Amino acid sequence: MNFNHHPSLQSRLFWIVTGSSIVIGGVALLLIFFVAYHNNVKENTAQINRMMQAVEYSAAIAVFTGNNEVANDVIKGLMLDEAVCAALLYNDDKLHATTTKYADTSSCPETVIHTLYSPFDGDEVIGHLETRIDISVVKARSYRESAQLALTLVILLLLPNFVIWLAVSRFVVRPIETLTQQLEDTQPGSAARLAPPTAYGTKEIVRLTHISNALLTEIESVLVYERAQRNEIEMLKVLYENMAHHDTLTGLPNRALLNDRLTQMLLQAKRSHQQCALIYLDLDKFKPVNDTLGHDVGDALLKAVAERLLGAMRKSDTVARVGGDEFVVILHSLHNVQEASDIAHKILHALAQPFSIGTHTLNIGSSIGVALYPQHGEDAETLSKNADIAMYAAKGAGRNNVQLFQL
């Protein structure tokens, strides 16, 4: 599965830290600017008030005497402060002096007015001294102070946030990445386990490692159990298939497997234009042995017969048990009729030899019938019927002999 389109924990943490610092810094910057602006307005107003108080007497003399030269000196002195954008000295009858930075004084809305009294009568109002504050200067000062404070604030915010990001990356992200890589390299069901990061492992990371290892152990146990179950099922499948196609007593192919192999043999013989043969044999004197000595001796005798038949046959041939004491042999790829007769007599000779079963020496013999392909039949049913007829002909001829099917 591709996880590249998902952001990593480290990058997401970085953007969270950075974003929170920017938001907090921005909000703090606005607050700092408003506070600085109002403080500057207040400080500049206080400073201008002090300046105006310092020149009030001179301004009052200038208005009282009508001395415009002194009035202009007073106004020029006030204009030396960069925060003052306009200054006026006037009474009800006359404007004695005025100076302004700008043609339009609407940019200087903040006004400070001092009332002037007569030098000789403190209760007589003779004029007014007025100044207007330059808001652009106040803003510029506020911006400078805010920038300095904001820079300090950003440093104070970023530094601990960076330390937090670095600590989380080292103590959380890096151990998780290490565990993730170990998990990717671990084969399901293997004995491999995760090793907790020793350099930066925390209690939570170590606990996560132990839980993951417990899950891996559980998965291994389940897979081992399932593997054992599959093996057992395969063994049972092979066993049942063998039981379905083999005689349970002798282990020889049964009638179902015999019919399948006979069909295959006939198809192959037809394609390659070869001869083959089917041999039916019945044990002579088996029934008296089974009746007098018991089924255990009879079963042991049948097993011994199966072993002798296998020893007398070629590896390419098939020996099957189809009844109590009846056996069938399929002979592949024969060169002539004599070869089939020779093999049949070899079987006759092998079964004519005494059998030692426990404390018993048994002589039984066999009656054998042979049918050839294609002379005596070109299909399995016909060939089987004719081989069976030949076997009964052998029994009728006195037993313990071989008979070839006669047309």
Show me where the domains of the chain are located. Answer: 9-138, 186-245, 255-404
pLDDT for residue 97: 66
Q: How far apart are alpha carbons 3 and 7 in whole angstroms?
A: 8
pLDDT for residue 164: 75
The SS3 of residue 195 is coil
User: Which tens digits make up the pLDDT trace of 335-375?
Assistant: 899 999 999 999 999 999 999 998 999 999 999 999 999 99
pLDDT for residue 95: 66
H-state helical runs in 295-358: 295-312, 337-352
Residue 3: DSSP 8-state: -
CB contact at 8 A, 330 and 268: no
CB contact at 8 A, 329 and 319: yes
CB contact at 8 A, 62 and 68: yes
Q: Does domain 255-404 have CATH number 3.30.450.20?
A: no
Most distant CA pair in the chain: distance in Å? Answer: 177
Band (pLDDT 50/70/90 cuts) for residue 225 is: confident
pLDDT for residue 137: 75
User: Which tens digits make up the pLDDT trace of 380-398?
Assistant: 999 999 999 999 999 999 8
pLDDT for residue 347: 94
**pLDDT, average across residues 197-215:** 73
User: Which tens digits make up the pLDDT trace of 269-309?
Assistant: 999 999 999 999 999 989 999 999 999 999 999 999 999 99
pLDDT for residue 104: 66
H-state helical runs in 186-321: 203-245, 255-272, 286-293, 295-312
pLDDT for residue 23: 76
CB contact at 8 A, 275 and 269: yes
pLDDT for residue 199: 61
User: Which tens digits make up the pLDDT trace of 141-185?
Assistant: 777 777 777 777 777 777 777 777 777 777 777 777 777 777 777
Lowest-confidence pick of 189-203, 235-249, 276-290, 337-351: 189-203
**pLDDT, average across residues 81-104:** 73
The SS3 of residue 278 is strand
What is the CATH code for 9-138?
3.30.450
Verdict on whether the full-model pTM lies above 0.75: no
pLDDT at residue 327 greater than cutoff 70: yes
User: Which tens digits make up the pLDDT trace of 99-149?
Assistant: 767 666 666 777 888 888 888 777 888 888 888 877 777 777 777 777 777
CB contact at 8 A, 328 and 254: no
